[in-house]
Amino acid sequence: MAQIIVALITGGLSLLGVIITNYRAAKSTEAKIETGLAVTDCKLDELTREVREHNNFAKRMPVVEEQIKVINHRIYDLEKKVE
């Protein structure tokens, strides 16, 4: 009878050890995942900001090109007047 009680106590303590170990490992893994997600979110926000900045630049370029055309025509007209 004593052997059964010792076996049950040993088994129970072993089970408790496994449960505690698994709980701590799960917490550690969860913390690493949360940190990774935070870094990914930060990088995604930065990339989104850069894309928006690029899109604004792409929208302004045709305006700048048109202004350059006008400036070139004015320079050409002024050069003709000087000649």
Chain segment 25-57, per-residue pLDDT in tens:
999 999 999 999 999 999 999 999 999 998 888
* Residue 51: per-residue pLDDT: 93
Question: How far apart are alpha carbons 57 and 69 in whole angstroms?
Answer: 18
Overall pTM > 0.85: no
Question: How far apart are alpha carbons 17 and 10 in whole angstroms?
Answer: 10
Question: How far apart are alpha carbons 45 and 77 in whole angstroms?
Answer: 48
Q: Looking at this protein, which amino acid is placed at residue 39?
A: V
* Residue 57: per-residue pLDDT: 82
Using DSSP, state whether 83 is helix, strand or coil.
coil
Tell me: the pLDDT tens digits for 65-82? 999 999 999 999 999 888
